[in-house]
């Protein structure tokens, strides 16, 4: 991003602020003051931190996990990234694997931990932000033990904070094991018998394959969003399609700056992306049956669109997440509850930024290499607001 573009972001963020009356700080809390508060210590927060440190900013990174990388470690055991290592590095530190290797979730977690250690980033674990608000002209992030004040805040988190399950799930028979993909680790958690994966995306496809290979009669319910026409791990996928699709189309062509990107963005955010690693033929070969979407419960059993019920022992909800931003006590949400921002800059709250949201700026914004570019752009806008020297 050029200096002029960064200056434009700052100017657009200089709208007037309507300050609400706030109670005074509780006497039991301690207060610390920084130039910038970064909320979230995953790849987005660490990448922002790297660029802020290069600029000489006084900042802190607050993360609720016990250990850096835990948001990856807590995912299902067999998970591998959909992108190879050459697309999985943050700025300043290559991923320690050959370029076409697809890292496991634990390898990604360990990389993030090593990244924070290498650049001595000021991460504070066990620091869950319970409320973000304004007191006077400053932002305040309150945790259980402390209040952190700053003129600028970066919410460096994806929208995958609170598992989303339909309300009718409570009507399912208590004999049926219910898990959200967020809590699923492996097939040892499942009862003998059938399994229905609710949701037609990549998580659902991965777990469906695992359940079928584990001997379960497996169904996959939900919309078919298509599939990419290549296998990422094979020759043409590694050497042509991945660089073209992931490296160029998702990163440079499908952005909020292009007509094609602006047209694609609503569909991507509402419907999700196509299958990447697992293909329709893989599901069929494993015995996974694709069925219509699940619309309710009949006699304690999952009810499909069209009236069919499934006699299964397990339901795994791959139905997405709520953003989980209820703790942000600021008027930044639109009529649908989405954050109103422009490429991560909240115009109505000068000094407030987001990194890590899906399609924040481009289709690649939820991928490691896209997060890095977004973080660098936001950090540059912050540097200009703080009047710091050029990045070293």
Taking only the tens place, the pLDDT of each residue in 253-304 is: 999 999 999 999 988 887 777 888 999 999 999 999 999 999 999 999 999 9
89, 118, 307, 376 from 53: Cα distances, Å = 18, 12, 58, 11
Residues 148 and 188 grouped into a single domain: no
Q: Among positive and negative, which fits the CA dihedral 55, 60, 62, 63? A: positive
In the chain, the number of structural domains is 2
* 171: DSSP letter: G
> Would 106 be classed as within a structural domain?
yes
Residues 208 and 117 grouped into a single domain: no
Q: Which residues of 306-345 are buried (b: 16+ CB within 10 A; e: fewer)?
A: eeeebebbbbbbbbbeebebebbebebeeeeeebebebbb
Looking at residue 2, its pLDDT comes to 43
Looking at residue 5, its pLDDT comes to 47
> Would 99 be classed as within a structural domain?
yes
CATH value at residue 288: 3.50.50.60
> Would 279 be classed as within a structural domain?
yes
Residues 189 and 99 grouped into a single domain: no
Residues 78 and 215 grouped into a single domain: no
User: Where in the sequence is the domain holding 95, given as residue range(s)?
Assistant: 3-161+323-386
> Would 258 be classed as within a structural domain?
no
**Region 11-35: what's the mean pLDDT?**
61
pLDDT digits (tens, 9 = 90+) for 216-258: 999 999 988 888 888 888 888 888 888 888 889 999 999 999 9
Residues 195 and 283 grouped into a single domain: yes
CB 51 within 8 A of CB 61: no
The pTM for the full model equals 0.88
Residues 70 and 150 grouped into a single domain: yes
Separation between Cα atoms, residue 154 and residue 61, nearest integer Å: 9
> Would 236 be classed as within a structural domain?
no
Residues 106 and 222 grouped into a single domain: no
Beta strands in 145-184 (DSSP E): 146-156, 162-163, 177-180
């Amino acid at each position: 991003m050029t200096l002029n573009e960064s200056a434009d972001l700052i100017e657009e963020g200089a709208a007037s602020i309507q300050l609400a009356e706030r109670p005074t700080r509780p006497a039991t809390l301690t207060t610390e003051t920084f130039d910038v508060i970064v909320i979230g210590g995953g790849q987005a927060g660490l990448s922002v931190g790297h660029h802020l440190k290069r600029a000489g900013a006084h900042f802190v990174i607050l993360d609720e996990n016990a250990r850096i990388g835990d948001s990856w470690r807590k995912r299902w055991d067999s998970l591998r990234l959909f992108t190879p290592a050459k697309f999985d590095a943050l700025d300043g530190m290559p991923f320690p694997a050959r370029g076409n290797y697809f890292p496991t979730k634990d390898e990604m977690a360990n990389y993030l931990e090593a990244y924070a250690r290498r650049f001595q980033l000021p991460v504070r674990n066990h620091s869950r932000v319970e409320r973000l608000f304004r007191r006077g002209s400053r932002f305040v992030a309150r945790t259980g033990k402390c209040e952190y004040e700053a003129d600028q805040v970066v919410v460096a988190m994806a929208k995958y904070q609170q598992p989303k399950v339909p309300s009718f799930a409570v009507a399912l028979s208590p004999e049926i094991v219910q898990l959200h993909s967020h809590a699923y680790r492996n097939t040892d958690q499942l009862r003998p018998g059938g399994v229905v994966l609710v949701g037609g995306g990549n998580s659902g496809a991965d777990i469906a394959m695992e359940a079928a290979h584990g001997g379960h009669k497996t169904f996959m319910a939900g919309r078919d969003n298509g599939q990419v026409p290549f296998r990422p791990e094979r020759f043409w996928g590694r050497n042509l399609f991945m660089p073209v699709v992931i490296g160029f189309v998702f990163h440079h062509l499908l952005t909020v700056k292009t007509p094609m990107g602006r047209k694609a963005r609503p569909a991507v955010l509402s419907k999700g992306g196509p299958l990447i690693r697992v293909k329709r033929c893989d599901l069929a070969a494993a015995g996974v049956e694709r069925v219509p979407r699940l619309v309710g419960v009949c006699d304690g059993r999952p009810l499909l669109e069209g009236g069919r019920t499934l006699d299964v022992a397990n339901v795994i909800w791959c139905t997405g997440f709520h953003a989980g931003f209820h703790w942000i006590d600021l008027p930044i949400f639109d009529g649908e509850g989405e954050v109103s921002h422009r490429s991560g800059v909240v115009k109505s709250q000068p000094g407030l930024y987001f990194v890590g949201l899906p399609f924040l700026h481009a289709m690649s914004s939820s991928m490691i290499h896209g997060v890095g570019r977004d973080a660098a752009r936001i950090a540059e806008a912050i540097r200009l607001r703080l009047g710091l020297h050029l990045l070293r």
